[in-house]
Amino acid sequence: MRRILAVHFGMNFPLRIIVLLALLAPPVMAAAADAPASFAAGPLTFTRPGEWIWVAQTSPMRKAELKVESADKKQAAEVVFFHFGAGQGGGVQANVERWYGQFAEGRDKINARSENKTVNGIKITYVFAEGTYLSGPPFGQKVPMKDHALVGAIVEDPGGSVFVKMTGPKELTKSAEPAFRKMVESARK
C-alpha cells in the first residue's frame, strides 16, 4: 500500500500531509477562539466569557469545552460541560462526592465545600476543592496535578442535569471563579 501511495502521490506524501495539516491548523484554531458566545449543553444555553477560548470537542460525552488562560498564557484551566439526558448521570450528592474523590488527599484536606443556589428558577449546586487533582479518564491512568483546584456546578433541569467542571492550577482557577459563576448563572432554556 505504501508503495502504491508513493508512486501515486510521490515519495514525499507524508511530508505533504504534514504541511497541509500545518497550514490548516491556524484557521481552525482561530475559528475555535471566535466561536459564538452562546452555546447549548443539553437542554440549557450558556454564555461563554469573552476571554475564554472555545476548544473543539474531544469526546462525545463532552458537550462543550473551554480553556481559561492566565494573563501570561503560561497556565491554563479546562472547563468541561457534560449532559447525559433525563435521569442520567447520577444524583447531585453522588456527583459532589465523586468530584471530591478526584483529589489524592482526603476530603478533610482539600478545602471541600459545596453551595446551593437558585437562579431564574434553576437549582445550581457549586462544588469547590483544592489539592492534588488526579487528572485522567474515569477508568484510566491518573496523573497527579499538585496545587490544582476544581470549581464545579451541577445545573438541574428536568431534561437532565448539566455538569460543569473547571480544573486547573489553583490560583488561576480561583481567579476565574467569578466568570465561571456568571457563565453558569447565565443558563437559559
87-106: pLDDT as tens digits: 999 999 999 999 999 999 99
pTM value is 0.81
15 confidence band (pLDDT: 50, 70, 90): very low
Domain 35-184 sits in CATH at 3.40.1000
Query: How far is 165 from 51, CA to CA, in rounded Å?
Result: 18
Residue 113 C-alpha cell reads as 465545600
Q: Angle 120-161-126 (CA atoms, 0-180°, nearest 5)?
A: 65
Asked if 153 and 125 touch (Cβ cutoff 8 Å), the reply is: yes
User: What is the pLDDT, as a whole number, of residue 90?
Assistant: 95
- What is the arithmetic mean of pLDDT over 115-130? 98
Confidence of residue 29 (pLDDT cuts 50, 70, 90): very low
Q: How many CA atoms lie within 13 A of 90 on its CB side?
A: 11
* Distance (Å, whole) CA 157 – CA 53: 26
CB-CB contact of 86 with 158 (8 Å):
yes
How far is it, in rounded angstroms, from Cα 186 to Cα 168? 22
% of the chain residues with pLDDT over 70? 81
Confidence of residue 34 (pLDDT cuts 50, 70, 90): low
Q: Which of 136, 155, 134, 156 is nearest to 145 (CA)?
A: 134
pLDDT at 47 over 80: yes
Burial of 43 (0-12, 13-18, 19+ CB in 10 A): middle
pLDDT band at 2 (very low <50, low <70, confident <90, very high): very low
Instruction: Give the tens place of pLDDT for each residue, 135-178.
Output: 998 889 999 999 999 999 999 999 999 999 999 999 999 999 99
pLDDT at 7: 46
Instruction: Break the chain into its structural domains and give their ranges.
Output: 1-34, 35-184
Q: How large is the average pLDDT for residues 71-92?
A: 97
Is 130 within 8 Å of 148 (Cβ atoms)?
yes
Question: Do residues 165 and 62 touch, judged by C-beta distance below 8 A?
Answer: no
Q: Is the pLDDT confidence value at 18 over 50?
A: no
| Residue 67, CA atoms < 13 Å, CB-side half-sphere | 18
Residue 141, all three cell numbers: 491512568
pLDDT band at 23 (very low <50, low <70, confident <90, very high): very low
Nearest to 95 by CA among 119, 118, 66, 125: 125
State the pLDDT confidence band at 35, using cuts at 50, 70 and 90.
low
CB 25 within 8 A of CB 37: no
Output the pLDDT for position 14.
Answer: 43
